[in-house]
C-alpha cells in the first residue's frame, strides 16, 4: 500500500481543532487502547506522570474527562504499552517507501498514520515488556545538518509504558489533521492488530539499516547507518559493563559534581551492580570535600533504581571518564569464560536433569493418547524409502506441537556435553528399561566411538549402532551392510522402495532375498542390514541423515512412538536441503509434458497396500487420468510461458491465473502418475535385472517426483507473502553435459514426524538457536557454558582473513590469484613441516586444518600427506585434514599444537539462497556480492580486547547461514585439541591463521606476513635433517626458497648476507652439532628443540667429476647409512663419487644420547678417546662413553 495520493486537508488552527478527545476518547478506550489527552498544537500529553495515568484510566474516567470543556478539545494520545508503533521519521521519500514496504513484509499489515508526508507511523500489538529501540539518528546526502532547527532522521519502535503516539489531533508542523488512509485506528480494535515480537522487530530494523545505507545515510556519529546498530556488538549503551572496567574509569572522574550528579552516579552503579556497586560509589564519594560517610550510606540505602536514572548508566560514567583523559582497553564483544570445565559440566548436568526426569511421564501420556486413538503407526509409507522422501501432503505446514520438550544446550567443546547426556540417559534406562533412546551423530564413522563409550560407562552392552544399507558391514569388511545395495540403489533411483528386494509374500508363499537371514538356505554371511534388526539395546546410534527418513520398521512399537527420547549431537541443519549443491530440476519440455499418467491402472495403493480395481473403477480412473492430464498440461504450459530467468514471481503466476489450490491439485496429479514398481520386482534381483525391469518407468517416476516438487514450490509461493519463489529458479538445467532451459528446484528436508514425536535434546558447541528453531518448533536453549583454558596458548592473525583465493589453489582461483595461492600454500606447508619436525623430535604430534584445495595441493607436490587415523605409522606425526572433515572427531585431544589455516566462506548469494530454502522466506539481500563489515572487539586473554572488522549479513536468516559455515567450523577446529581439559603437563598451542573474531580468548595477535614469512632456511634444514656446509647444499636442501633463482647457490648466499642474524644462527648450529661449541650467539629455542634431541652425524661428499668436496650434517635417525645420505644429496648435487662419514670427529650430542642409553654409536675407538682427551670435556660424559665402550656398545 502506498500513500502518495493522500487527500489534502485544510489547515486547522489550534483553537479551531475538532474536539477529538471529547468525541472519540471513550471509543478508543473501549477498543482496547490506553488513551491520554494531548495538548492541542503539540505531540505531548499535558500532564506529569501520564504513563501511569493512561494505564489506570477506566472507561468511566475517560468519559468524565471527555465531557470536561477544557479536556474535550485535546487530541488523543495512545500509550505504547502492548501497542508498539513503528515511527518512520524519515523525510527521504524513496527510503521511507522502502522502509514502509519492509515493515509490511516482515511485520505484517497494520493501520498507518500520516502526519507530515513522507513520514508515517504503523501500529501493532505486542508484549508489554517489548523494549524501545531505534536505528539511531542519521542524515542523508545533501542534508544541511548544520542548519538551524535541523531534525535528524530516525526509525523508532515506540513501545512500553514510557512511550506514546498521537492517534487523533492537529499535526503541529502541517496544521492539518493526522491522516489514517486505511481508516482511523477505531476501525482496528486492539485485538485485531497484527501481533509482533522483539525478534521480528530486530529483523525489521536490520533491513532498515540496509535500506538507509543503500541511500547513503550516515549516523549522527558519522558512520554509515548500517553499522550504527546493525553489527554484532553488544553496545555499551547501558548497564552491561564489567565492575572492574567501571572502577578503572571512575578513578579518572573528579568528584566535583553537585548533589544531582552525585546521586545519578549512585543510581547507575546500583542499577548495574546492586549492592556490589556501593564500594565504588563510596570510594569515589570520599574524594569530595563534602563527603559524609553516614549520609552517603543512608542515601545509597534509599535508592531504588528502575533501569537508567535520568538517562545515566555505566556507559555515561565511561564517557565522562574519557572526557577526563581515560583511554581504557576496548570492551570485548564476547564474554570471557569464568568456570572450569568440571564446574561447567556440573552446571550442565543440573540443567539437563529435568529433561530426562520428565521423559517417563511424557512417554506414558503419549502411549495413552496413541492407544486411545488406535494409531500406533507412524503414518509413513514404504514409498518414503524412494524418491518421494520430503513430499508429505502438508509439505510446508511444519510441525507446530510445542508441548513436546525440545531443549538445547550450547556448551563448549571439551566440557563434556555428550558425556553428561550419556550418563543421564544411562540413569534413565536403568530406572526405566522400556525406554528407548536414539542418539543422532554427524557421521557413521563416529558411531563406533560413541557406542563404545556408552557401553564402557554402563559396564555392559546397552548401546547399538544402526548402520545404513550402504555402509560397510563391520563383520564382513569390504562388503556393504546390504550385499545387494547396488540393485537397491538402482531401484531407489527408479522410484521404488528396497523392501521389495528383500522379502515379498506371506506364509508359505513368502520369498526372501538369498542374503536374508530368514532365507531357507541360511546364508553363511547374511545381510548385515537385516542382521542388525536382531540386536537388543536401550540406546541406538544413528547418523544425522536418518532424521529425514522414517525410523526403520523394526522400531515400530504397538501403541508407542518408536523412540522415547531423541538426542541430536551437533547441528545437522545445513545438510537438510535438496537441489542446492547439485542442480536439480525440470527442463521446460519436461514440465510441459509432465509425468505419464497411467490410463490403464488395474490397482491402487491404499494404506500402503495394493488393492485391485473393478472394471467400473478402472474406467473411472482412466477418465479421471485423461482429465487430469489435460488440466495438468494446461497449467504447466501457462507456467512455462510466464516464467522468466531468476526466481519465479508471484505476479507472473497470478497473471497466468494460477492459484495455490490449482498448484496443489497439479502436485497431487504428478504424484499419482508415479508408477508402483513392486509388481515388477522380486527379492534378490541383481542390479542389471532391476535396471531392465524398471527401465520403462524410471524416467517417468523421476519426472513425477520432480514435477511434484515443482508444484509444491508453487503452492508455497502462492500461500506465503513472498513476491518471489524460495524454491524455484528459472535458468538452465545440465542435461547430458548440455545446458537446457528449465526450472531449478530446491527443497528442505524436514525431520520426520516419528522422530519429532519424542522429546528432543540438541547438543552443540556451535549451536545457532535461530537455525535450530526453524526445524524444532518451541525450541528452548536451557544451558550455555564456556570454560577457561589456562593451559592453552592461542595465537591469531588479526590483519587478514586469509581467504581461499590467497591460500587454496584450485579450479575457482585463476590468474595472479592462482600464483599467489600456490606460493602461500607452499610456504604454509614449509612452516608446518618445520613445526611438525620439532614436535616429532620431542615425541609429540600436531594437527593442521586447512582448505581442501590447499591440502590437495600440498599432497600433490609431496609436502603433506592426508591424515589416516587408522594408520599406526602416522602416530606421533602431524595430521593434515580439511574443513568439513573433522566434525565430531575426537582423535586429537593429545596434540601439542593445532594450526587452522584460512576459513570457509560462503558467497553472499549462496548464503541467501540456502537461507531461503531452510527458512522458507526470502532474506533481505545486500547490494553487490560482498558482505557488510562491522567493527567488533575480539576477546583477548583476561577479558582484554582488540578492535577488528568482521563480515556479517544484516538479514538474520542469511547471517545464521554465514555464521554456521564460516565461524562455526573455526570454533570446532580450535576445539579438536580439547583445550579446556589440558593441564600443565600437556599444554597446547593453537595458531589461527584468519582474522575472524571468535568467542575464545586469544593470547597473542600477529600479522599474516609475520606468519607466512616465518619460514627460514635454518629451520627448514633442521626439519629435513640436512645441514650442508656450502651454499649450493643450502640451496639444494631449501629448493622451495632458492630453487627458482638463476643461480640458487648465489641466491642462498645473498639471502643470508641480507639476514646476518640468521647467518649467525646457522654458524652456531653447525658449531654446536659438530663440537658442542655454541660460540658467541645462543641458539634459538626453536632450533634447540631439534638439535638437543636429534643425533647429527657429519658426512663428506664429492660430486663425480669435481675436484672439491663438501660436508653435510645429517640426522642419523632419518639417514642411518651412507647410502641413505648419498640418495638425499644426489638430488641437488648430482651423482656422487664419495659419500662417507667424517671419522676424525664425533658428535657431542650423540655422546650425550649414548650416555643416556638411547642410541649406540659405532666409530673408531682410538679417535674417540683422542677427542675425549681434549681439555674442557665433562668427565661424567667421558666416563659414560667409556662405560658404554667397555660393554661393547662401541666397537673399533
- For the segment 198-247, what is each residue's pLDDT rounded down to a tens digit? 888 888 887 888 788 778 887 764 444 433 333 332 222 334 456 667 88
Provide, rounded to the nearest whole percent, the portion of the chain with pLDDT above 70.
82
pLDDT band for position 551 (50/70/90)?
very high
Residue 1080, pLDDT score: 57
Q: What is the pLDDT of residues 846-855, one digit of tens each?
A: 999 999 999 9
Q: Residue 121 CB: number of other CB atoms within 10 A?
A: 22
Mean predicted confidence (pLDDT) in 707-711: 90
CB 1122 within 8 A of CB 1152: no
Mean predicted confidence (pLDDT) in 415-435: 95
Mean predicted confidence (pLDDT) in 950-977: 92
Classify residue 685 as left (phi > 0), alpha (psi -120 to 50) or beta: beta
Residue 223, pLDDT score: 41
Angle between helices 1017-1024 and 1060-1075 (to 10 degrees): 30
How would DSSP label each residue in 545-569? GGGGSPPPGGG-BTTB-S-SEEEEE
Q: Residue 276 CB: number of other CB atoms within 10 A?
A: 11
Considering only residues 420 and 331, tell me which one the structure prediction assigns the higher pLDDT. 420
Q: With 80 as the cut, is the pLDDT of residue 1045 above it? A: yes
Considering only residues 271 and 1131, tell me which one the structure prediction assigns the higher pLDDT. 1131
Mean predicted confidence (pLDDT) in 468-474: 92
Q: With 70 as the cut, is the pLDDT of residue 1166 above it? A: no
Highest mean pLDDT among 165-174, 505-514, 786-795: 786-795
pLDDT band for position 103 (50/70/90)?
very high
Mean pLDDT score of the chain: 81
Strands, sheet with 1110-1115, edge to edge from the N-terminal-most edge strand: 1026-1028, 1110-1115, 1096-1103, 1136-1141
Angle between helices 93-106 and 198-214 (to 10 degrees): 150
Q: With 60 as the cut, is the pLDDT of residue 911 above it? A: yes
Considering only residues 1178 and 42, tell me which one the structure prediction assigns the higher pLDDT. 42
Considering only residues 442 and 216, tell me which one the structure prediction assigns the higher pLDDT. 442
pLDDT band for position 965 (50/70/90)?
very high
Q: What is the pLDDT of residues 621-638, one digit of tens each?
A: 677 667 766 776 777 777
User: What values do phi and psi take at 792, rounded to 5?
Assistant: -120, 135
Helices (H), 329-431: 341-357, 359-373, 417-431
Mean predicted confidence (pLDDT) in 419-439: 96
Distances (CA, A) of 1066 to 1012, 1024, 1038, 1145: 21, 15, 14, 19
CA–CA dist 629, 669 (Å, integer): 8
Residue 673, pLDDT score: 81
Residue 26 is placed in which grid cell?
471513550
CB 973 within 8 A of CB 889: no
CB 447 within 8 A of CB 543: yes
Give the CA dihedral 832, 837, 843, 846, nearest 10 degrees.
Answer: 10
CB 107 within 8 A of CB 205: no
Q: What is the pLDDT of residues 790-820, one digit of tens each?
A: 999 999 999 999 999 999 998 888 888 899 9
pLDDT band for position 455 (50/70/90)?
very high
Beta bridge partners of 224: 218
Q: With 60 as the cut, is the pLDDT of residue 1022 above it? A: yes
pLDDT band for position 606 (50/70/90)?
low
Residue 494, pLDDT score: 92
Q: With 70 as the cut, is the pLDDT of residue 646 above it? A: yes
Residue 1173, pLDDT score: 53
Q: What is the pLDDT of residues 826-844, one digit of tens each?
A: 999 999 888 888 888 788 8
Q: With 70 as the cut, is the pLDDT of residue 1152 above it? A: no
Residues 6+ apart with CB under 8 A from 423: 349, 457
Mean predicted confidence (pLDDT) in 1158-1169: 44
Residue 240, pLDDT score: 42
For 72-76, 558-562, 704-708, 740-744, which range has the lowest pLDDT when averaged over its residues? Answer: 72-76
Residue linked to cell 486411545 = 372
pLDDT band for position 4 (50/70/90)?
very low
Instruction: Work out whether the CA dihedral 75, 79, 83, 87 comes out positive or negative.
Output: positive
CA–CA dist 824, 569 (Å, integer): 36
Q: What is the pLDDT of residues 1080-1130, one digit of tens each?
A: 567 777 777 666 667 788 999 999 988 889 999 998 888 999 999 999 999
pLDDT band for position 609 (50/70/90)?
low
Classify residue 563 as left (phi > 0), alpha (psi -120 to 50) or beta: beta
Residue of 199, 203, 56 whose CA lies nearest to 130: 199
Angle between helices 1165-1172 and 1179-1190 (to 10 degrees): 160
For 321-325, 455-459, 1135-1139, which range has the lowest pLDDT when averaged over its residues? Answer: 321-325
Mean predicted confidence (pLDDT) in 942-955: 84
Q: Work out whether strand 780-785 and strand 646-649 pair parallel, antiparallel, or are unpaired.
A: unpaired
Q: What is the pLDDT of residues 854-906, one digit of tens each?
A: 999 888 877 765 443 333 333 347 889 999 888 767 788 899 999 999 999 99
Q: With 70 as the cut, is the pLDDT of residue 7 above it? A: no
Mean predicted confidence (pLDDT) in 125-153: 85
For 50-54, 841-845, 1067-1071, which range has the lowest pLDDT when averaged over its residues? Answer: 50-54
Residue 10, pLDDT score: 41
Mean predicted confidence (pLDDT) in 131-153: 84
Q: With 90 as the cut, is the pLDDT of residue 679 above it? A: no
Q: With 80 as the cut, is the pLDDT of residue 1060 above it? A: yes
CA–CA dist 360, 376 (Å, integer): 18
pLDDT band for position 910 (50/70/90)?
very high
The CB-side HSE value for 1084 (13 A sphere, CA atoms) comes to: 14
pLDDT band for position 1154 (50/70/90)?
very low
If residue 1040 lies in a helix (H) or strand (E), which one and from where to where? helix 1039-1042
Q: With 60 as the cut, is the pLDDT of residue 1164 above it? A: no
Residue 561, pLDDT score: 92
Instruction: Work out whether the CA dihedral 340, 342, 343, 347 comes out positive or negative.
Output: positive
Q: With 90 as the cut, is the pLDDT of residue 674 above it? A: no
For 451-465, 600-614, 780-794, which range has the lowest pLDDT when averaged over its residues? Answer: 600-614
Residue of 1093, 1081, 1054, 1068 whose CA lies nearest to 1018: 1068
CA–CA dist 1172, 1159 (Å, integer): 18
Q: Residue 214 CB: number of other CB atoms within 10 A?
A: 15
Considering only residues 253 and 1192, tell me which one the structure prediction assigns the higher pLDDT. 253
Residue 1192, pLDDT score: 42
Highest mean pLDDT among 163-172, 349-358, 940-949: 349-358
Considering only residues 541 and 336, tell me which one the structure prediction assigns the higher pLDDT. 541
For 241-245, 988-992, 1182-1186, which range has the lowest pLDDT when averaged over its residues? Answer: 1182-1186
For 84-88, 299-303, 383-387, 406-410, which range has the lowest pLDDT when averaged over its residues? Answer: 383-387
CA–CA dist 915, 921 (Å, integer): 8
CA–CA dist 615, 611 (Å, integer): 13
CB 640 within 8 A of CB 741: no
Residue 913, pLDDT score: 94
Instruction: Work out whether the CA dihedral 797, 803, 809, 814 comes out positive or negative.
Output: negative
Amino acid at each position: 500500500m502506498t500513500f502518495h495520493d493522500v487527500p489534502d486537508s485544510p489547515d486547522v488552527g489550534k483553537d479551531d481543532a475538532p474536539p477529538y478527545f471529547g468525541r472519540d476518547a471513550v471509543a478508543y478506550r473501549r477498543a482496547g487502547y490506553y488513551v491520554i489527552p494531548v495538548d492541542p498544537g503539540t505531540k505531548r500529553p499535558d500532564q506529569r506522570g501520564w504513563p501511569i495515568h493512561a494505564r489506570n484510566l477506566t472507561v468511566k474516567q475517560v468519559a468524565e474527562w471527555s465531557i470536561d470543556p477544557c479536556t474535550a478539545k485535546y487530541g488523543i494520545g495512545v500509550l505504547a504499552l502492548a501497542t508498539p508503533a513503528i515511527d518512520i521519521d524519515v523525510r527521504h521519500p524513496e527510503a521511507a517507501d522502502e522502509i514502509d514496504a519492509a515493515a509490511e513484509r516482515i511485520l505484517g499489515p497494520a493501520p498507518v498514520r500520516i502526519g507530515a508526508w513522507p513520514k508515517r507511523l504503523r501500529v501493532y500489538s505486542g508484549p508489554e515488556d517489548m523494549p524501545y529501540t531505534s536505528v539511531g539518528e542519521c542524515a542523508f546526502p545533501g542534508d544541511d545538518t548544520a542548519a538551524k532547527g535541523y531534525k535528524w532522521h530516525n526509525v523508532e519502535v515506540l513501545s512500553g509504558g514510557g512511550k506514546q503516539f498521537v492517534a487523533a489531533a492537529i499535526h503541529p508542523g502541517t496544521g492539518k489533521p493526522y491522516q489514517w488512509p486505511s481508516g482511523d485506528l477505531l476501525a482496528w480494535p486492539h485485538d485485531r492488530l497484527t501481533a509482533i515480537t522483539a525478534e521480528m522487530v530486530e529483523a525489521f530494523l536490520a533491513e532498515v539499516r540496509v535500506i538507509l545505507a543503500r541511500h547513503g545515510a550516515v549516523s549522527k556519529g558519522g558512520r554509515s547507518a548500517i553499522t550504527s546498530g546493525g553489527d554484532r556488538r553488544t553496545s555499551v549503551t547501558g548497564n552491561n559493563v564489567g565492575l572492574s572496567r567501571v572502577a578503572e574509569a571512575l578513578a579518572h572522574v573528579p568528584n566535583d559534581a553537585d548533589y544531582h550528579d552525585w546521586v545519578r552516579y549512585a543510581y547507575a552503579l546500583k542499577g548495574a551492580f546492586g549492592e556490589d556497586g556501593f564500594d565504588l560509589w563510596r570510594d569515589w564519594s570520599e574524594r569530595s570535600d563534602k563527603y559524609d560517610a553516614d549520609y552517603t550510606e543512608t542515601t545509597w540505602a534509599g535508592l531504588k533504581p528502575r533501569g537508567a536514572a535520568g538517562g545515566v548508566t555505566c556507559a555515561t560514567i565511561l564517557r565522562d571518564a574519557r572526557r577526563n583523559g581515560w583511554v581504557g582497553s576496548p570492551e570485548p564483544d564476547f564474554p570471557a569464560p569464568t568456570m572450569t570445565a568440571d564446574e561447567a559440566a556440573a552446571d550442565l548436568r543440573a540443567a539437563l536433569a529435568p529433561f530426562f526426569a520428565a521423559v517417563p511421564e511424557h512417554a506414558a501420556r503419549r502411549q495413552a493418547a496413541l492407544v486411545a486413538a488406535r494409531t500406533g503407526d507412524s503414518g509413513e509409507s514404504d514409498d518414503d524409502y524412494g524418491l518421494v522422501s520430503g513430499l508429505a501432503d502438508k509439505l510446508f505446514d511444519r510441525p507446530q506441537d510445542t508441548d513436546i520438550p525440545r531443549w538445547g544446550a550450547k556448551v563448549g567443546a571439551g566440557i563434556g556435553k555428550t558425556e553428561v547426556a550419556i550418563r543421564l540417559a544411562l540413569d534413565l534406562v536403568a530406572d526405566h528399561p522400556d525406554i528407548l533412546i536414539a542418539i543422532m551423530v554427524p557421521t557413521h564413522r563416529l558411531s563406533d566411538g560413541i557406542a563404545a563409550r556408552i557401553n564402557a560407562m554402563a559396564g555392559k552392552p546397552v548401546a547399538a549402532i544402526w548402520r545404513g544399507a550402504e555402509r560397510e558391514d563391520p563383520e564382513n569388511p569390504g562388503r556393504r551392510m546390504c550385499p545387494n545395495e547396488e540393485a537397491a540403489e538402482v531401484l531407489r533411483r527408479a522410484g521404488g522402495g528396497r523392501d521389495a528386494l528383500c522379502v515379498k509374500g506371506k506364509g508359505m508363499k513368502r520369498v526372501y532375498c538369498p542374503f536374508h537371514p530368514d532365507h531357507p538356505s541360511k546364508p553363511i554371511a547374511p545381510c548385515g542390514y537385516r542382521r542388525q534388526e536382531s540386536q537388543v539395546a536401550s540406546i541406538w546410534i544413528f547418523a544425522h541423515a536418518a532424521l529425514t527418513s522414517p525410523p526403520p520398521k523394526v522400531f515400530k512399537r504397538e501403541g508407542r512412538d518408536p523412540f522415547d527420547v531423541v538426542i541430536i549431537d551437533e547441528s545437522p541443519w545445513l545438510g537438510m536441503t535438496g537441489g542446492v549443491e547439485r542442480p536439480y530440476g525440470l527442463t521446460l519440455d519436461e514440465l510441459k509434458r509432465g509425468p505419464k499418467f497411467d490410463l490403464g491402472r488395474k490397482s491402487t495403493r491404499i494404506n500402503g497396500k495394493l488393492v485391485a480395481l473393478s472394471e467400473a473403477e478402472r474406467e473411472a480412473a482412466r477418465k479421471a487420468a485423461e482429465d487430469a492430464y489435460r488440466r495438468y498440461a494446461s497449467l504447466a504450459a501457462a507456467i512455462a510461458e510466464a516464467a522468466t530467468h531468476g526466481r519465479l514471481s508471484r505476479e507472473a503466476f497470478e497473471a497466468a491465473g494460477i492459484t495455490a489450490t490449482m498448484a496443489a491439485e497439479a502436485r497431487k496429479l504428478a504424484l499419482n502418475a508415479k508408477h508402483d514398481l513392486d509388481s515388477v520386482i522380486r527379492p534378490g534381483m541383481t542390479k542389471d535385472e532391476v535396471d531392465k525391469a524398471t527401465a520403462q518407468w524410471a524416467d517417468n517416476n523421476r519426472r513425477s517426483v520432480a514435477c511434484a516438487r515443482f508444484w509444491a514450490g508453487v503452492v508455497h509461493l502462492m500461500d506465503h507473502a513472498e513476491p518471489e519463489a524460495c524454491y524455484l529458479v528459472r535458468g538452465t538445467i545440465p542435461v547430458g553435459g548440455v545446458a537446457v532451459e528449465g526450472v531449478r528446484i530446491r527443497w528442505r528436508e524436514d525431520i520426520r514426524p516419528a522422530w519429532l514425536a519424542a522429546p528432543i535434546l540438541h547438543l552443540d558447541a556451535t549451536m545457532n538457536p535461530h537455525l535450530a528453531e526453524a526445524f524444532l518448533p518451541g525450541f528452548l536453549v536451557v544451558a550455555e557454558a564456556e570454560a577457561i583454558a589456562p593451559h592453552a596458548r592461542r595465537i591469531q592473525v588479526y590483519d587478514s582473513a586469509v581467504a581461499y583465493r590467497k591460500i587454496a589453489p584450485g579450479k575457482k582461483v585463476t590468474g595472479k590469484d592462482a600464483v599467489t595461492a600456490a606460493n602461500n600454500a607452499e610456504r604454509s606447508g614449509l612452516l608446518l613441516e618445520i613445526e611438525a619436525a620439532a614436535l616429532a623430535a620431542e615425541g609429540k604430534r600436531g594437527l593442521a586444518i586447512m582448505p581442501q584445495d590447499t591440502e590437495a595441493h600440498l599432497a600433490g607436490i609431496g609436502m603433506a600427506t592426508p591424515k589416516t587415523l587408522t594408520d599406526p605409522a602416522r602416530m606421533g606425526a602431524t595430521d593434515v585434514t580439511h574443513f568439513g572433515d573433522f566434525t565430531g572427531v575426537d582423535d586429537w585431544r593429545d596434540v601439542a599444537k593445532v594450526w587452522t589455516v584460512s576459513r570457509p566462506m560462503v558467497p553472499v548469494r549462496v548464503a541467501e539462497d540456502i537461507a531461503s530454502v531452510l527458512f522458507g522466506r526470502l532474506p533481505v539481500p545486500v547490494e553487490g556480492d560482498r558482505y557488510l563489515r562491522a567493527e567488533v572487539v575480539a576477546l583477548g586473554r583476561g577479558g582484554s580486547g582488540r578492535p577488528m572488522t568482521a563480515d556479517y549479513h544484516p538479514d538474520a536468516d542469511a547471517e545464521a547461514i554465514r555464521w554456521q559455515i564460516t565461524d562455526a567450523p573455526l570454533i570446532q577446529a580450535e576445539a579438536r585439541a580439547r583445550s579446556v581439559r589440558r593441564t600443565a603437563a600437556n599444554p597446547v598451542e593453537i595458531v589461527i591463521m584468519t582474522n575472524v573474531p571468535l568467542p575464545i580468548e586469544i593470547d597473542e595477535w600477529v600479522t599474516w606476513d609475520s606468519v607466512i614469512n616465518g619460514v627460514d632456511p635454518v629451520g627448514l634444514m633442521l626439519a629435513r635433517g640436512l645441514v650442508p656446509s656450502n651454499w649450493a647444499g643450502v640451496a639444494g636442501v631449501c629448493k622451495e626458497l632458492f630453487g627458482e633463482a638463476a643461480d640458487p647457490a648465489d641466491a642462498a648466499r645473498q639471502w643470508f648476507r641480507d639476514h646476518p642474524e640468521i647467518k649467525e644462527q646457522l654458524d652456531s648450529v653447525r658449531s654446536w652439532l659438530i663440537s658442542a661449541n655454541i660460540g658467541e650467539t645462543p641458539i634459538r629455542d626453536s632450533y634447540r628443540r631439534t638439535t638437543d634431541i636429534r643425533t647429527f652425524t657429519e658426512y663428506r661428499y664429492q660430486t663425480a667429476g669435481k675436484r672439491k668436496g663438501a660436508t653435510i650434517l645429517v640426522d642419523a635417525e632419518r639417514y642411518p647409512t651412507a647410502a641413505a645420505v648419498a640418495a638425499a644429496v644426489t638430488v641437488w648435487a648430482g651423482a656422487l663419487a664419495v659419500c662417507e662419514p667424517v671419522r676424525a670427529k664425533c658428535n657431542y650430542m650423540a655422546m650425550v644420547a649414548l650416555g643416556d642409553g638411547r642410541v649406540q654409536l659405532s666409530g673408531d675407538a682410538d679417535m674417540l678417546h683422542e677427542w675425549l682427551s681434549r681439555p674442557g670435556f665433562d668427565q661424567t660424559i667421558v666416563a659414560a662413553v667409556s662405560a658404554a665402550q667397555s660393554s661393547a656398545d662401541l666397537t673399533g
